[in-house]
Amino acid sequence: MRHFLVFISAVLALAGCVGTAAEHEALGDKAYAEREFADALVEYRLYLTRDPGSQEVRAKAAAAALNSGELIVAAEEYIALAIGGDDESTAEAADGLERVVQAAADVGDRAALAAAVEGLRQIAPGRALGRFARQLASGLGEGPPSDEKLLVLFYAAADAPDARMQDSLMYAYATGLRQLGRCEAAIPVYESLMRRGLEPRVVDRSRGGLGYCALRLGQHAHDEGLPLTAEEWFTLAVTRAGNTEHGRAAYLGLGDVLFGRGEFIGAAVAYESALMGGVPGDSISTIAVAKLEMVRRAGTGIPF
């Protein structure tokens, strides 16, 4: 695709001295009829350098781009068609963008998905994407997250056909945020999913995701010398994640914050809480036992 776009740019640079607009449209029509869609796209875009306001040729360029597999170009042309046209052109552009969404989902082209979905939201916000929700989610695959993937997931979830599908898509969205290091943005989404409680598996996974994020934010705040902020995050983690691995690790962090400001009894309670839900000898239990010994050696007189 990159080489194709470079080629187009080079050809467009010569457009001022080669052929008339009408000739380029005729050549484009001929190529399109022969199903040489890439060639047709070149000719239509050459025409548009002469007459960028031609909605008819703009629509032809968009269709040629779609049929040649240049999905981002197709999205761009359909958006331009809507922006520069009347209600009829906008409706035609929205139909075209839906076809781009379908094609991009089929091949897993995240950037084209994002461009087409964002275009639909701009020019036809009333169009529901719910019928694409499952296809959008499956088309994104299991690969690493990206801004484009998050955008598509967010819009797909907003228009999902039912609440359970919406929750599944929003969980994927929150997880993408977490994987990109945006835990503060992910936590409210996880909390919302836990409150809704529609899908037990989504609730359990959201609890784990929230616990992980709150734990990491607490650890970061503690490392940055922000004990009050760290305490808030650790408290959220233990409140939501309970005796899960992340919740138990957050109890260790909470104990460290309390120990650091001399609240030895509170620290001891936190370290003891970290033992709950574990098994003797696991890593968190081992650390908790060591920290309880640290409290004892601090001269508190607290029996263990």
pLDDT in tens, 60-78: 999 999 999 999 999 999 9
Residues 6+ away with beta carbon under 8 Å from 229: 221
* Whole-number pLDDT of residue 299: 60
* Whole-number pLDDT of residue 15: 45
Burial 8-47 (b: 16+ CB within 10 A, else e): beeeeeebeeeeebeebbebbeebbeeebbbbbbbbbbbb
If you average pLDDT over every residue of the chain, what do you get?
84
* Residue 236 binned pLDDT confidence (cut-offs 50, 70, 90): very high
pLDDT at 124 over 50: yes
pLDDT at 259 over 90: yes
Contact of 81 with 103, CB cutoff 8 Å: no
pLDDT at 139 over 60: no
What does DSSP assign to residue 130? G
**Residue, of 293 and 12, whose pLDDT is higher:** 293
How far, in Å, CA of 25 to CA of 47, rounded? 6
Tokens 């920290």 locate to: 291
Length in residues, the chain: 304
* Residue 302 binned pLDDT confidence (cut-offs 50, 70, 90): low
* 3-state SS assignment for residue 30: helix
Find the angle CA(11)-CA(79)-CA(16) to the nearest 5 degrees: 25
* Cut 0.75: pTM above it: no
What does DSSP assign to residue 28? H
pLDDT digits (tens, 9 = 90+) for 32-50: 999 999 999 999 999 988 8
**Residue, of 19 and 231, whose pLDDT is higher:** 231
pLDDT at 191 over 90: yes
Domains of the chain, each with CATH number or no CATH = 178-304 (1.25.40.10)
